[in-house]
Amino acid sequence: MLTIAQHNSIDKLAQTARTNRNGTTEIVESNIKLQVFSDDHLTSIYFRQNFEGIDYPNILSMRFDNRVGAITGFCDKWSAYAIGGTQLRVSREEAVDLGWEAANGISTVNIFGVGDVYIHLLKDPMVTLSGAVRDGALYPLYWMRFPTDMVYYTIDQVQVGVWGDTGEIAYCQAVGFNGEPVPNGEIAHSVSPSTTPAATSGVTDTKAPSNNTMLMGLGAAFIFAILVVAALVGVKKRTHRKNRKRNCAKCLNRAQLCAYFYLNWLSSV
């Protein structure tokens, strides 16, 4: 690190970084990458282990305040992890194929309050390669994100890690974002053919009433009709003209009350 710093002016690298669009510049010598980030206020310097173009998380960094010329931060993680292996035996194309095969093992995801939902992926991943920890040491790892063809409620990708030295799958999981789920996607459900007819669609219609509910509703409507007829017959049999209107009103009020309770019961069913 001292040799790199002696051969390269940090001030000149900082000036170059400030002129670049991303505010950074870097050089690599002897498996060490020197990165300089700089703006009008701060300059950060990172010495990072780099093998075959792959960055590893062991770093030594310093931060300077450009306005007063003082060191405001120092971090030493150079010996945090041992280097377990740096040889890259799996190409990017091979890693993508391995990751795609693993990602397609996830055909459904469970959405809270909804259930299992079918998802569909696109073989157009974002791929990065860097060192990662395995068994307490560092090895090269492909980090891949396969997008879904649309957002499934809150799921928008499947992330897969493939070890660059062995081709083994490090992890594979569907991920998304927090927020209100957007109703979309086919709901997966299992049907037993011995007890229930086969479903014609993977979409569950939650608005369709069951047969039992329909029968109970028809029964309630039939009882209500009988009560109304009985009330009208009772009114007709009243012979006393003086009380006919009052008795008719009472019967109709009773019929309305019955209708109210039965309609409430029907809606609860």
pLDDT in tens, 190-211: 433 333 233 222 333 333 344 4
pLDDT tens column, 241-262: 445 445 545 554 555 555 555 5
For residue 268, the model assigns a pLDDT of: 56
Residue 48, pLDDT score: 95
- What is the sign, positive or negative, of the torsion defined by CA atoms of 168, 173, 177, 182? positive
**Distance (Å, whole) CA 61 – CA 232:** 93
For residue 264, give Cα distances in angstroms to 187, 231, 260: 31, 20, 6
* Boundaries of every domain in the chain: 2-80, 83-205, 211-268
- Indicate the average pLDDT of the chain: 79
Q: What is the pLDDT of residues 64-76, one digit of tens each?
A: 999 998 999 999 9
Q: How confident is the model at residue 28 (pLDDT cuts 50, 70, 90)?
A: very high
The pLDDT score that the predictor gives to residue 76 is 96
Strands 54-65 and 70-76: antiparallel
